Structure 1
């Protein structure tokens, strides 16, 4: 029980405290830990669609790379850049023009470009017998077979120098290196690659080392490399440029010829060029560039989500059985993104109109056009 004296003492203390409270701060400091304030993380902004706002015609145009000779601007190619905003131009030759002369030609195209996306400017600068630009300022590049004898470090350094020369000329993409495996002792019977010393070696390891070093050197110089010719052109005995029905009966989805792409595509960004040969062990019904099954090996088995382009679809005898319109539609239907029309750019309007009409009539095909244009736009954005 509390005593009366204790109650009196408590009352006195309380009165004293209350009498002092008028002099005290309104809020007394405290050492209590403040309670945590719960805040939600900001919702990430959706990634802008790089093809938003583009018309169907503009998206279709991005799916084409049109050729011009280095010596003069092709009228069809220039109109395609100016009026449609095509995805790219390809410089073909061979040409003795200097770096400055090539840069002036490229300038005509870039100044005329009507697209909101950058214009790709490509050429074939492999080395050896396949080197378009060889005028003043451009080194004479050895063949891939000779390059393959260099150490990877030396080849990277040299390729970076060759790439820097392309950059000064206004080129942004090199349709190289060749990633085809030509088995030892068979080069002479392989007209498109081995007979021209375009291969880096006869096995997966040597090709991966050489092509990988070349591609890395190009990337160092700011040039997009292109790995070709998927899924491999090192076993055929005729050339798709000059013969029809060219068929490979060696390469399968699990061949070293395919595995080398897994290695190379893991090393850095690149475009992949499809062969126009037929691959009997994958799809014997159509050239690779027209085959959903072969493209699926690259997309699904290898896991490549970047830009896939065709080899030239304008003059190759291998594709001459199809009309230009059919060639373009079949390639895009198969899952290819970029159609190369290097030798005969005059067929571009027919190809463009066919793709545009098909995309207008067929929503599923229009979806493929969108997907291809989006991959190209994303690649151009870096």
Structure 2
């Protein structure tokens, strides 16, 4: 049964607009923008917080990092490796997060976990997510089902998986991508996303439009993908195209792409979101990459990156780590929303997609 705050949250939004904002997270965007822009019906202070996915410090409800989650009505909370010790501990942690972060009038945040395999998994002791170089899509599907069946009882609603990047031999996804072959990777990514969804777990294929050919992992430093747009479409984008009409969430890349200006990370680039929305007809939640990581490229702050990402087309703004960065980004977004009517319309569109994600995947 939904918490009372859920109904209040949905009624606070005007569920209309353009490009699939009325549709469930798995539906494609449809048609050009309507003449009427979505209208923000939440106070900007609440709306701004709802647009963030935040990381935190600590492993239990008594830790300061977990207690601090109740300071703002965040849209999502992400459990990472430093938060996780065992399945039982994560179950208790999720309960504490819901008590702390859901103490206000809005619903508790979406609880997500980084569980994409290897170093990208917070709980490596659980059944593994689909592994790279599987012989066929059936194995990928079965492993995704087992992973979802292990995560849902812990209270997890969203897994930041699978890795949809091509497993190029010298690329950052060599050990986490399904295959260097675009067709094989697309088939296996699609099988995994469908199995997660059938088991009631939202998944976020990563990292659009593909980091298989990046010069390095963007989390390690500035990374460049030197392909043209035509080359991206022919290869790296194909796994995302295979799930664009089904994936509830797609996570963006922090790399920069020669296909566009070669200096702006995809997670901040309107062209990348245009390719995702108009090119692939994606109607779900577009989640940024790590907004702290992009500052190594932009030279700016995570706060500015958050505002730029929302303006570019992001729906969920991911800031792990330091609470001071999250608070600065939150305050910067509040100020931007207060003075920019167009950005408020963009926020309303994003909140609509997030509400639909909650509706489908909220853990009872």
The TM-score, its normalising length taken from structure 1, stands at 0.78
Counterpart of 1:83 (choices 44, 68, 71) is 71
The whole-number CA distance in structure 2 between the counterparts of 1:274 and 1:96 is 24
Given that 1:70 and 1:93 are in contact with CA atoms closer than 8 Å, whether structure 2 keeps it comes out as no
Q: 1:157 corresponds to which residue?
A: 142
Partner of 2:229: 252
In structure 2, do the counterparts of structure 1 residues 257 and 131 end up closer, same or farther at CA, with 3 Å as the change threshold?
same
Query: 2: distance between equivalents of 1:249 and 1:49?
Result: 45
Match of 2:109 among 119, 131, 142: 119
Shifted more, 152-161 versus 216-225: the winner is: 152-161
1:172 to 151, 154, 157: 157
Measured in 1, the distance between the counterparts of 2:343 and 2:155 equals 34
**Cα-to-partner distance string for 1:113-139 (whole Å, 9 max, x where unaligned):** 12533521111111233221135xx23
- 2:287 is the counterpart of 1:287: no
**CA apart distance, 1:310:** 0.9
Contact 2:226 2:257 in 1 (8 A): yes
Match of 1:128? 118
CA gap 1:317/1:355 in 2 versus in 1, 3 angstroms: closer
Change in Cα spacing, 1:145 to 1:269, as seen in structure 2 (3 Å) is: closer
Deviations 1:76-113 (A, max 9, x none): 56434x23211111111156622221111111111221
| Separation in 2, partners of 1:325, 1:199 | 31
Structure 2 gaps, min length 5: 1-9, 15-40
1:301/1:315 CA distance change after superposition, 3 Å: closer
CA deviation string 1:194-214 (max 9, x = no partner): 1xx111001221111221222
3-state DSSP of counterpart to 1:201:
coil
Contact 1:310–1:336 under 8 Å retained in 2: yes
Change (3 A) 1:332 1:115: farther
Moved over 6 A (4+): none
Does residue 105 in structure 1 map to residue 67 in structure 2?
Answer: no
Query: Which of 1 and 2 has higher RCO (CA within 8 Å, sep 6+)?
Result: 2
Secondary structure at the counterpart of residue 381 of structure 1: helix
Would the alpha carbon gap of residues 223 and 142 (structure 1) be closer, same or farther in structure 2, given more than 3 Å must change? Answer: closer
Counterpart pick for 1:227 among 201, 205, 211: 205
Q: What is the count of residue pairs matched by the alignment?
A: 320
Match of 1:144 among 131, 137, 142: 131
Q: Determine the C-alpha separation between the residues in 2 that align with 1:378 and 1:208.
A: 26
Tell me the distance in 2 between the aligned counterparts of 1:337 and 1:237: 27
Structure number with bigger Rg: 1
Tell me which of 13, 19, 30 is aligned to 1:51: 13
Q: Deviations over 1:230-264 (max 9, x none)?
A: 001000122211222x2211151633222332211
CA distance in 2: counterparts of 1:75 and 1:51, whole angstroms: 32
CA separation of 1:61 and 1:332: change in aligned 2, threshold 3 A: same
Q: 1:125, 1:133 within 8 Å by CA — same for their partners in 2?
A: yes
Q: Aligned residue for 1:193? A: 173
Task: Tell me how far apart the structure 2 counterparts of residues 320 and 92 of structure 1 sit (CA, whole Å).
Answer: 25
TM-score by length of 2: 0.81
C-alpha distance in 1 between matches for 2:116 and 2:289: 15
Secondary structure in structure 2 of the residue aligned to 1:126: coil
